[in-house]
Amino acid sequence: MNYGIGIDLGGTQIKGGFFDLKKGKMLAKDSVDSRDGDWEGNVPAFGVEARGLVDSLEKKAKKEAEIAGVSAPGLARRDGSAIASLPNRLDGLEGFVWADVLGKPGAVLNDAHAALMGELWQGGAKGLRDVVLLTLGTGVGGAIVADGKLLRGNIGRAGHLGHLSIDFHSEMRTICGAPGGLEDFVGNHNIVERTGGRFGTTLALVEAVAGGKDEEAERIWDESMRALAAAISSIANVIDPQVVLIGGGISKAWKQIEPRVSHWLDEFEWRPGGARVELRRAELGEWAGAYGAVYNATIQQGMVDE
């Protein structure tokens, strides 16, 4: 087993990478529009586009891939054949059997799970046995590796850390129904409401904070980082990882994240024998899903041990 392809299906784009599996290196990459809602005959357009990516990547790399893994939103079947559940988006994805259209053996995995598997293979979680990923973006995603293995759970839902209730009296409900869930205090999706209309994006808020003269921005950001720290302290107590890896678009504000979360963790975190959870930035950025997709495929096809 020398070469493989990782496909990362998003709502607007499909990214693909061609990998040297032994070296863990991406030799070629490409991306196309995901055309959510379109069909070509009885195949959703994203399937046809993904198949096209496989072909174009093999041409670019001038090599043939023996395996193709997929990262996609939704809850994956345990056997990796398809996404079992994703309501209201990417019509046709539920039950879509990837191997049929990609023409190669592989497996599909939830996108946050895939991002962590990518980081575990070649990124910021390399060599770790117990590690949790939090992705801070539109919402908050997450994934857990415990004792070296991806924690999937009974229906593939494990790791949805954005839906951790950190304020159970709150009237807010996450899209999954969680009262006062982490992503409603940290995600970009409600930043306009959280800032009384002052900021359109979290990164604009952070810029104002970095300026040092905007007390209201400071207060809003501190509330958000306090919420994140409370969630990380809960993760430490319940999952007990060595490292919490932080990724997603908002993680670009690392200089405004790390010291503030650390400050609140000094107050919240249980540190038996001085042990403390290490905060780290994710390393693979927007390509983490492609890395994780192909790595997971090699595991699910029994080519490497987890």
Chain positions contacting a second copy, by CB under 8 A: 75, 84-85, 87, 129-130, 142, 144, 146-147, 149, 151-161, 163-169, 176-180, 226-227, 230-231, 233-234, 236-242, 267-270, 272-273, 275
CB nearer to a second copy: pick between 45 and 75: 75
Q: What is the C-alpha separation between 194 and 280, in angstroms, rounded?
A: 26
The conformation of residue 177, written as its DSSP 8-state character, comes to: -
CB nearer to a second copy: pick between 227 and 284: 227
Among candidate residues 76, 73, 82, the one with its CA nearest the CA of residue 102: 82
CB nearer to a second copy: pick between 92 and 179: 179
CB nearer to a second copy: pick between 56 and 234: 234
Q: How far is the CB of 152 from a second copy (least distance, A)?
A: 7
189-198: list long-range contacts, CB under 8 Å, 24+ apart. Answer: 189/138, 189/139, 194/220, 194/224, 195/220
Q: How far is the CB of 91 from a second copy (least distance, A)?
A: 17
* Residue type for position 205: L
Q: How far is the CB of 31 from a second copy (least distance, A)?
A: 28
Among candidate residues 112, 110, 149, 136, the one with its CA nearest the CA of residue 279: 136
CB nearer to a second copy: pick between 152 and 194: 152
Which H or E run contains 278?
A: strand 278-281
Q: How far is the CB of 76 from a second copy (least distance, A)?
A: 12
Q: How far is the CB of 92 from a second copy (least distance, A)?
A: 17
Q: What is the C-alpha separation between 187 and 198, in angstroms, rounded?
A: 16
Q: How far is the CB of 259 from a second copy (least distance, A)?
A: 19
Q: How far is the CB of 287 from a second copy (least distance, A)?
A: 26
CB nearer to a second copy: pick between 155 and 304: 155
- Distances in Å between the alpha carbon of 133 and those of 67, 141, 233, 267? 26, 8, 14, 22
Q: What is the C-alpha separation between 171 and 195, in angstroms, rounded?
A: 17
Backbone angles phi, psi at 83, to 5 degrees: -80, 125
CB nearer to a second copy: pick between 29 and 276: 276
